[in-house]
Amino acid sequence: MTLLEVILVLVLLALVIGYALPALTGTIHGTGLAESGERLRSLIHLTRAAAMRDGVRYRLKFPGAPDPDDPNAERIVETAVETQQPEIEKEKDPVNEPGVFEPADLRYGIDGILRSGVRCVAVRVGPPNFDVNQQSPFAGPEVNAREAPMDVVTFYPDGTSDWATWTLTSLPADTEPEESDIGLILNVMLDGRTGQTWFQRPWRNREVELMAEHGASPLLHVDFVRADEITEDNILYVHMEMRSESAVATGR
């Protein structure tokens, strides 16, 4: 990607953040959560493009995130009870001051990435976990716990980054999620190898078990937020539909 192409990407994504209408209204309850997901996704792309443009590392984090360079830092922190905004850091001078980061503003005047009432309750670096969780109606790590990882995500000049999952919710703090709350939770996922991002709602435990029986992966690489349950009656159709959309998204 040339410098001109990177600059064009930055300009276009800035416009998307400011003016694009939420594409997920009606599938995720409340436009606040949908719009927050879209804005966060745009910020992720902007941060990746800025790292490539400037030839230095960038970081995306939320307030209270532990220092990723401190091996003794506690990864699990208290979950925010109110809306907090993501922060961007840029490596100041990788030659003379390696590892020193300073704040960078890539929001282009947009007042708030997350809308009021939407919280980021976890940021997990690494491939996502879809293990069956008998303590929750949803597979994987507990949603809306009082403590959770808030990892810092690093973007590199070569266009790669950490794998990461940001979990957003419009549930009030200290609310125990129920299955009916599936539309109030949104995972924003990033493939660190390619920079691809997509949305996934949480999987019900029985959906993950059904996927395992049919050899289907719960990692979709394509937006999937509709609340309809995946069952024996529709899993083949959904699987083929997702494969088709994924092929279009990746150009395969």
Name the residue ranges covered by the structural domains of the chain.
3-202
For 172, half-sphere exposure in the C-beta direction (CA atoms, 13 angstrom radius) is 2
Residue 249: which of 17, 41, 7, 63 has the closest Cα? 41
Contact yes or no for 140/128 (Cβ under 8 A): yes
**pLDDT attached to residue 27:** 47
CATH fold for the domain made of 3-202? minor pseudopilin epsh fold (3.55.40)
Residue 151: what residue type?
A: D
29, 160 Cβ separation under 8 angstroms: no
Angstrom distances, CA of residue 181 to CA of 36, 145, 157: 17, 15, 39
pLDDT of residue 221: 92
Collapse the DSSP code of 138 into the 3-class scheme (helix H, G, I; strand E, B; otherwise coil) and give the result.
strand
* Burial label, 196 (beta-carbon count in 10 A; 0-12, 13-18, 19+): middle
Rounded Cα gap, residues 132 and 119, in angstroms:
24
DSSP bridge pairs for 186 = 168
Which tokens belong to 178?
């129920």
* Residue 227, token pair as written in the block: 């609340």
Q: What is the pTM of this model?
A: 0.85
Structure tokens that stand for 14 in this block: 């800035």
32: which 2 tokens?
Answer: 């606040």
- With tokens 């040339």, the residue in question is 2
At 237, which amino acid appears? Y
pLDDT at position 247, please?
56
The pLDDT value given to residue 236: 80
Angle between the 3-19 and 31-54 helix axes, to the nearest 10 degrees?
A: 160
pLDDT in tens, the chain (252 residues): 565 555 555 545 554 444 444 444 444 555 699 999 999 999 999 999 999 999 999 999 999 999 988 989 999 999 999 999 999 999 999 999 999 999 998 866 667 899 999 999 999 999 999 999 999 999 999 998 899 999 999 999 999 999 999 999 999 998 999 999 999 999 999 999 999 999 999 999 999 999 999 888 899 899 999 999 999 998 887 777 766 666 555 554
Give residue for tokens 């810092």. Answer: 152
In total, the chain counts a number of residues equal to 252
Pair type for strands 197-200 and 153-155: unpaired
Instruction: State the Cα–Cα distance between residues 250 and 233, nearest whole angstrom.
Output: 28
CB-count burial class (<10 Å; 0-12, 13-18, 19+) for 138: buried
Give the tens place of pLDDT for each residue, 19-78. Answer: 444 444 444 555 699 999 999 999 999 999 999 999 999 999 999 999 988 989 999 999
Closest CA to 109 of 4, 15, 45: 15
Quote the pLDDT of residue 17.
Answer: 44
